[in-house]
Amino acid sequence: MSERSPFVVDADWLQEWLGKPGVAIVDASWYLPAQKRDARAEYEAGHIPGAVFFDQDAVVHEGSDLPHTLPRAEHFARFAGSMGISVDDTIVVYDGPGVFSAPRVWWMFRVMGAKEVFILDGGFDHWKAEGRPVSTLPTKVAPCVFTPDFDSERVATLSDMREIVESGARQVADARPAGRFAGSDPEPRPGVRGGHMPGAKNVPATSLSKEGRLLPIEQLRKTIESAGLDLDQPIVTSCGSGVTAAVITLALESIGHKGSKLYDGSWSEWGSRSDTPVVTET
């Protein structure tokens, strides 16, 4: 097995492929309020040449009262097509820090049927620091047709999670920071309880990368196993709103784990309800 994830490309590779037909570049930056960064403003101030901005607060299920709910396939297809992205393109997704919000969009495209989807190792912050090309011009887009092939087996719903937690049919890997997982630190969204689902294991998303780059394969494996997860058994990933859960999903698929699901509602859904069991650590 290669030391590096098969779903990651480096900056040298991307720079060589800038402007080539069939290569779509997607800025998937998104930040928590505490990070005090404005993703769209940063994109407009400078982005990788040819990149389009993927607004994770807009490409969501219409009418959902939860943040970042996966849209219907036809809705996602309209957004992707309007960005000039085809299901057959080689799609490279990046964010500012490197491995934070980009994996969520990597996962979304794959759930919707795209096969050649990758993460830019190091993200845009490293790209800029290395003096690589940056554009402030709006990216010209030729709209196209994105033909989705939605894979529902990659997604876990609230009813799925109730059954999983009750039966233990899958292990639950939670990507939130340790304090929020334990319930000792407050949740950033009002009305959401602290703590975690019974039986869940904590794999903070930040533990799976270093300096904006996804850990090598064997380090990913050791980090996940040290959290108490059995890689021979099925896993469902979760986080605050479904964004950083995809970091664990990326790590799992990178090491060859098959069949993981992502709980789309994540803790924003589970922790906001009064009829879901919650464990806290004191």
CA distances from 39 to 28, 34, 81, 170, 221 (A): 8, 13, 21, 34, 31
Which of 114, 110, 112, 109 has the alpha carbon at shortest distance from 88?
114
CB-based contact 159:165 (threshold 8 Å) = no
Cα distance between residue 30 and residue 22, in whole Å: 25
- Both tokens of 203, joined, read 């794999």
* 239 in active site: yes
- Both tokens of 268, joined, read 């924003």
Cα distance between residue 75 and residue 15, in whole Å: 31
CB-based contact 148:87 (threshold 8 Å) = yes
Q: Which of 24, 214, 239, 245 is catalytic?
A: 239
- The residues assigned a catalytic role are 239
